[in-house]
Amino acid sequence: MALDSKQVLDTREFKVVGTRVLRPDGVDKVTGKARFGADITAPGMLVGLVLRSPHAHAKIKSIDTSAAEAMDGVHAVVTAADFPNIELDDFTADVRDNCLAGAKALYDGHAVAAVAASSNHIAKKALKAIKVDYEVLDHVTDVDEAIKPGAPVLHEGGGNESVPEGSSPNIMARYEFGHGDIEAGLKKADRVLERSYKTEATHQGYIEPHACLATMGPDGQADLWCCTQGHYMVRNTCAAILGLDQGQLRVTASEIGGGFGGKTTVFLEPVAMMLAKKSSRPVKMVMTRSEVLRATGPTASSSVDIRIGMTKDGRITAAAAELRYQGGAYAGSPVEFGAMSAFAPYDLENVQTIGWDVVTNRPKQAAYRAPGAPMAAFAVESAIDELAKGLGLDPLEVRLKNAAREGTVASYGPTYPAIGLEATLRTAKDHPHWTAPLGENQGRGVACGFWFNFGGDTCVSLNITPDGTVTVSEGNPDIGGSRASMSMMAAEELGIPYEKVRTIVADTGSLGQNEVTDGSRVTFAVGLATIEAARAAKREMCKRAAMVWGIEPEAVEWKDGAAHPAGPNAGTHPPMSLAEIAEIASNTGGPIAGHHEANPEGAGVSFATHMVDTEVDPETGAVKILRYTVFQDAGKAVHPDYVEGQFQGGAVQGIGWALNEEYIYGEDGVLQNAGFLDYRIPVASDLPMIDTVILEIPNPGHPYGVRGVGETSIVPPLAAIANSVSAASGVRMTDLPMSPPKVLKAIQDQ
Amino acid sequence: MSKIHVTTKINGDPTEFLCEPDETLLDVLRDRLGMTGSKEGCGTGDCGACSVTVNGRLVCSCLVLGAEADGVEVATIEGMADGDQLHPLQRKFIEHAALQCGICTPGILVAAKSLLETNPNPTEEETRYWLAGNLCRCTGYDKIIRAVMEAGKEMREAS
């Protein structure tokens, strides 16, 4: 099913794009040769380790590093006091404080000091020799508790100008979106549902822990190797924190062992650089899994109140949501995206969302695949399902009746161009999954999801080699096959075979600024820049052919990998292939290349509908996923295998979020499940095959119609599964994860 | 703390090393022998990224001491291909796009090879349970399971 289920709705003919070529990094990755963050060494390298706070909230009265510094084999110890005294913007200042705590340790696991030593053993001993004098403070880890009067305060006066006077000091920002009149709309409804929902924090769960290797000379030149979603971001952030020129710091991205948003910031890198500077030795740092769970990521936990009114025939008359997300110890939970995306799939006359950004004593949240959207969609899509069922209506029909279409004014402001939500719903309705029979204790659920997608600063350099092959340099770590996609788009545009193109991820010394690999932007934005770079090279090659033929460049056209004379005055020259033009480039003006730099607008929004069957064991409350189908608009699927892979991976992360994964804090504010045994992500035996249906409604903002596909797929699963569990068990689950004890209790309480 | 002298065979190569008494086989492979194909995802035996075989038995090398490698035969991802001839599992993983980031891939390949040696014709369910100790966060396992079963089919047909 998944392998030949693509539905093509556009008519453009592609030769390379849309095929399932082999990825260029495949052999290295199946043979163990690929080098990830921790797979590199440097001569004279030291081991860097971090000392972390055992307290959820504590004033750091003093740190005595003298005993550690005196140990043989210890070459440097750093604390926040070693950061150069530089005025930073609020965002970067928070990143710095998160890398090494300043006045207070704000969560269990917060870094307070770091050492560099000649061996792992010595570094561990040195950490034990550091004496930190803490004054333990009261803490809070729950989002609703954090905004109650009298809750422990993390940052006095930390809220920005959007926060109304008199609000909890743990509220950092307030957001509001919408249009129309909610109360008037609700009056027109035949039924109004008011319901509250909660989701627990989940970690991105990439299998590769954070790792880096830093060198820094006394001349101010520095090199950094690290696993990151954006080495240009790493460069800029480290340069700002350490007071370096961006041009003097060269960052090379390793192969990256998963990120899902969690590697869009820095944790170790500035610390490793300070240790390298202080010790005058290369310093390698690698996190343990426990450190990853305690101190990086996760996403926000949420608490959401919904009010939706619906007529008897399923039209939504008004929809309102109030969202509270805690994003850990610093401002910046993804509640703004939650508030923008909550009702994005629907065409609504009256809609309002209010988002509150709350801080608690938890690790600083990092982006996680469609940050903020899954929790909002869980609440909204569960409420719509409950309303539809209560009115005896088909949940897909209700969604179709209210679906956003071309011309719909989105709840967050813009008017949509061509979008694919309706296509995903209609395809879902026609799919055999929708009418397949169900057994006892089994149920089916559906839900929709939305993500914005993004463009961002992008540079691509495309070079024609003397033998007529092509190299593409791009600045975005390849996290799921993008080198293959870029080579495919370059080959398509140049009219040459895929095998004649090789794409590399270039270091920060090789290209201009590149936004991180996030926002499902790479295939769209880097693809667009690759196509434009190829077009620039084609223009130059046409010029060279024109020179050889003695005609005007305008009388030359490029097709099928060669320059052809075109038009009435061009003459009858035989075509010159790319290789022929490359061979004589030296004599026609020198090497040939194309490049493109842009911040492209026009990233088409993306919609999906998910359908899932579950079986609920009434004896244990365990939920089994029986069947799962993803329907999503990809704009144009450049490499269908990897589009399917994104759909499947996102769905399964959503399954984990819905059923198992959660951050569990003890009364002491210490994370209780900082390991993969107790923080349980889905394993192969938990799952069926994940069927996919790729829809292709071309994005007008991309030359080939490409939309980002990576994030939307994690938005619908939470609600789709909750709706399925509700159908299977008769209980409506409003609190994630739907772990067996919770489901069992709900069944017993009904 | 004095080091322990270990004589072993890794992917058929006679190998000697010195290691600390508390050093894991994974640390030895990665940090002493430069064999970084085995990955550390957790260090507690929960993720399977460090899977190797010891005398043919599938283990997490993060749960085996380096000293325990004395006198045994260790097989890692680095020994899976025969020169430039990829193992059918390696080929099928590339053909079926069974990897995205690739960090779990070496461990999953070692575990899958062990499965097919134990059970050349596994059902989908048997494959899923055998690989339940190998975490992958990117793929949702769909294409991995297909690739393993396809490789098994090809190997059965070839033998």
A4-8, A152-156, A696-700: lowest mean pLDDT where?
A4-8
CA distance B148 to chain A (A): 12
* Integer angstrom CA distances of residue A33 from A36, A473, B84, B129: 9, 21, 13, 28
Tell me the pLDDT of chain A averaged across its residues.
96
Tokens representing residue A318 in the block: 């008004």
Angle between helices A90-99 and A231-242 (to 10 degrees): 90
Q: Mark yes or no for CB contact B103/A689 under 8 Å.
A: no
Q: pLDDT tens digit string along A119-131?
A: 999 999 999 999 9
How large is the ipTM? 0.99
Residues of B in contact with A206 (CB under 8 A): 101, 103, 137
Query: Does A480 sit within 8 Å of B100, measured CB to CB?
Result: yes
Residue A205 has pLDDT above 60, yes or no: yes
The answer to whether A201 and A663 are in contact (CB under 8 A) is yes
Local confidence band at A11 (pLDDT 50, 70, 90 cut-offs) = low
Residue B92: which H helix or E strand, with range?
Answer: helix B88-95
| Closest CB from B80, B89, B103 relative to A258 | B103
Mean pLDDT score, A527-542: 98
Instruction: Find residue A301's DSSP bridge partners.
Output: A326
Of the partner residues A289, A645, A653, the one whose CB lies closest to the CB of residue B100:
A645
Calculate what percentage of chain A has a pLDDT beyond 90.
Answer: 97
Shortest CA gap A237–chain B (Å): 24
- pLDDT at position A2: 34
Give pLDDT, residue A87.
97
Chain A partners of B141 at a C-beta cutoff of 8 Å?
652, 682-684, 687
Those residues whose C-beta lies under 8 Å from the C-beta of residue B157, and which sit 6 or more positions away, are none
Q: What is the pLDDT of residues A258-309, one digit of tens each?
A: 999 999 999 999 999 999 999 999 999 999 999 999 999 999 999 999 999 9
Question: Looking at chain B from residue 115 to 154, which residues have their Cβ under 8 Å from any Cβ of chain A?
Answer: 125, 127-129, 131-146
Q: Which residue of A has its CA nearest to B82?
A: A31
Give the integer Cα–Cα distance in Å for A668 and A670.
Answer: 5
Average pLDDT over residues A419-446: 98
Strands (E) across A423-516 are located at 442-451, 458-464, 470-474, 501-505
Per-residue pLDDT tens digits of chain B, which is 159 residues long: 699 999 999 999 999 999 999 999 999 999 999 999 999 999 999 999 999 999 999 999 999 999 999 999 999 999 999 999 999 999 999 999 999 999 999 999 999 999 999 999 999 999 999 999 999 999 999 999 999 999 999 999 998
Residue A596 has pLDDT above 80, yes or no: yes
CA A582 to centroid of chain Cα atoms: 39
- B141–A32 CB contact, under 8 Å: no
Q: Are A257 and B103 a contacting pair at CB < 8 A?
A: yes
Q: How many CB pairs under 8 A join A and B?
A: 186
Please say if the pLDDT value at position A3 is more than 50: no
CB contact under 8 A, A481 and B100: yes
Question: What is the pTM (predicted TM-score) of this model?
Answer: 0.97
Residue A313's contacts (CB-CB under 8 Å, 6 or more residues apart) are A393, A401
Residues A230-258: tens digit of each pLDDT: 999 999 999 999 999 999 999 999 999 99
State the first-to-last Cα distance of chain A, in angstroms, to the nearest integer: 38
pLDDT at A184 over 90: yes
Tell me: the pLDDT tens digits for B118-146? Answer: 999 999 999 999 999 999 999 999 999 99
- Interface check for A518 against chain B (CB to CB < 8 A): the answer is no
Query: Sorting pLDDT into bands at 50, 70 and 90, what band is A7?
Result: very low
B36 and A CB contact within 8 Å = yes
The chain B residue lying nearest A678, using CA atoms, is B46
Give how far A479 is from chain B: nearest CA, Å.
5
Q: From the CA atom positions of chain A, what is the Rg in Å?
A: 27
Nearest to B11 by CA among B65, B70, B90, B72: B72
CB contact under 8 A, B128 and A31: no
Average pLDDT over chain B, rounded to whole? 97
Q: Which residues of B touch A645 (CB under 8 A)?
A: 97, 100, 138-140, 143
